[in-house]
């Protein structure tokens, strides 16, 4: 069976892509914990992050750092929570969730998002029209 995250990471199809590099694709989670919940997915398949080549691992973490900054700025959150997994989909992926409180990174808060909600969040992130944290 083909890995659905491999297909999305390589093509960006069927996803609200917010950032893409040579080595990863970042797109909105369809069952977000909070608005802006994004998955950063490496283009090279690996079920466990610890099995990744060191170069690919470091590149993934740099992409995570960049996307987290974009999310914090455009979503206006205090910080961005992080969780790494490969269980729900057997492909390493990093969850980035804009959060404002200690309990906000709770997976039980996840809910299906409508296409309209995803499109609006996608627009805010990719066009920089979020709440924004003014940084000088």
Structure-token pair, residue 98:
């804009």
Residue 134 located in a structural domain: no
CATH value at residue 44: 3.30.428.10
Name the strand (E) or helix (H) holding 70. helix 54-75
Counts for the chain of helices (H) and strands (E), in that order: 3, 5
More confident residue, 119 or 106: 119
Its domain, for residue 34, covers 4-126
Residue 109 located in a structural domain: yes
Tens of pLDDT, residue by residue over 90-105, are 999 999 999 999 888 8
The pLDDT score that the predictor gives to residue 129 is: 57
Name the strand (E) or helix (H) holding 122. helix 115-126
Cα-based angle 41, 70, 29 (whole degrees, multiple of 5): 40
Give CA–CA dist 16/23, Å, rounded: 17
Q: How many domains does the chain have?
A: 1
Percent of the chain residues past pLDDT 70, beyond the cut: 93
Tens of pLDDT, residue by residue over 45-87, are 999 999 999 999 999 999 999 999 999 999 999 999 999 998 8
């Amino acid at each position: 069976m083909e890995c659905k995250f491999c297909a999305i990471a390589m093509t960006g199809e069927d996803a609200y892509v917010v950032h893409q590099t040579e080595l990863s694709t970042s797109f909105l989670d369809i069952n977000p914990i909070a608005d802006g919940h994004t998955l950063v997915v490496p283009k090279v398949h690996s079920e466990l992050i610890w099995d990744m080549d060191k170069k690919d691992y470091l590149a993934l973490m740099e992409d995570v750092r960049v996307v987290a900054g974009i999310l914090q700025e455009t979503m206006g959150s205090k910080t961005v929570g992080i969780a790494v997994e490969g269980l729900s989909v057997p492909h390493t992926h990093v969850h980035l969730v804009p959060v404002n409180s200690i309990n906000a990174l709770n997976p039980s808060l996840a809910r299906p998002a409508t296409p309209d909600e995803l499109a609006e969040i996608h627009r805010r992130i990719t066009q920089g029209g979020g709440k924004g944290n003014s940084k000088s």
